[in-house]
């Protein structure tokens, strides 16, 4: 056959990425196979390796988009009161995870072959999400030392992520989305109440 020059390499790369992303969204990570992507875009398997080093590379680029999406959602949160802002960020995160479950899950399900080989541009995207959270803690306690604030943001955000993960993936027990939202609200409110108290007492 040889569909030479029908698409540029950049166009082909976009085709592969879009097709792969769609498969993940609609059928989950486990349905993502090289041959399947090839069929979807009307090329053969080999072509994928012209534009991506391997499946790990392709997966990383899908995950990068997911990180961008999450960051974009969090950027839109704009509550004037700091505590309300943090709660809104948490609910926005849960909402994204719930509505984009398959791609959100792949973000955490996929393990990089060697953990130290995560490229800088990808790590930047991971940090971008977390930075938005930390930023809201600046608003909450401007006087607080950066170390303390970062640790608090880390603890709470790990918490919000954990509640979302256990609930949505049905590991610990089975809840509906409203219960999860309530759990997230409970965690955020009580943590912040306790933390602000201990911070202003210093």
Partner DNA sequence: ACCTGAACACCGTTCAAGT
Among 31, 39, 45, 186, binds a second copy (CB under 8 A): 186
Residue 101: CB atoms within 10 Å: 14
Burial class of residue 80 in the structure, from the number of CB atoms within 10 Å of its CB (0-12 exposed, 13-18 middle, 19+ buried): exposed
Read out DSSP for 24-90? HHHH-GGG--HHHHHHHHT--HHHHHHHSSSHHHHHHHHHHHHHHHHHHHHHH---SSHHHHHHHHH
Binding segment for DNA among 42-50, 104-112, 133-141, 173-181 (CB under 7 A)?
42-50
Among 22, 27, 45, 179, binds DNA (CB under 7 A): 45
Q: For residues 95 and 76, is the Cβ–Cβ distance under 8 A?
A: no
Return the residues of window 90-129 that contact a second copy according to CB under 8 A. 108-109, 111, 115, 126-127, 129
Number of residues interacting with a second copy: please give it, by CB under 8 A: 46
Cα separation, 180 vs 166, whole angstroms: 10
Burial class of residue 103 in the structure, from the number of CB atoms within 10 Å of its CB (0-12 exposed, 13-18 middle, 19+ buried): buried
Nearer to a second copy, 42 or 158 (CB): 158
Among 14, 28, 40, 55, binds DNA (CB under 7 A): 55
> x/- binding map, residues 152-171, to a second copy, per CB under 8 A?
x-xxxxxxxxxxxxxx-xxx
Minimum gap (Å) between residue 169 Cβ and a second copy? 8
What residue ranges bind a second copy (CB under 8 A)? 30, 108-109, 111, 115, 126-127, 129-130, 151-152, 154-167, 169-173, 175, 179, 182-184, 186-187, 189-195, 197-198
What residue ranges bind DNA (CB under 7 A)? 1-9, 12, 32-36, 42-47, 49-50, 54-56
């Amino acid at each position: 056959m040889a569909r030479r020059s029908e698409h540029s390499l950049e166009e082909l790369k976009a085709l592969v990425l879009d097709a792969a992303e769609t498969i993940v969204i609609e059928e989950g990570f486990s349905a993502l196979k090289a041959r399947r992507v090839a069929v979807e875009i009307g090329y053969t398997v080999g072509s994928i390796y012209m534009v991506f080093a391997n499946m790990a590379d392709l997966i990383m680029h899908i995950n990068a988009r997911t990180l961008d999406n999450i960051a974009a959602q969090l950027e839109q949160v704009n509550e004037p009161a700091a505590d309300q802002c943090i709660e809104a960020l948490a609910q926005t995160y849960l909402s994204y995870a719930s509505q984009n479950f398959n791609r959100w899950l792949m973000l955490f399900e996929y393990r990089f072959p060697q953990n130290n080989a995560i490229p800088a541009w990808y790590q930047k995207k991971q940090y971008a999400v977390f930075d938005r959270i930390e930023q809201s803690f600046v608003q909450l306690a401007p006087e607080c030392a950066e170390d303390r604030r970062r640790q608090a943001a880390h603890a709470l955000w790990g918490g919000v992520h954990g509640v979302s993960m256990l609930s949505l993936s049905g590991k610990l027990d089975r809840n509906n989305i409203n219960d999860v939202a309530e759990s997230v609200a409970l965690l955020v409110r009580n943590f912040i109440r306790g933390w602000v108290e201990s911070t202003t007492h210093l």
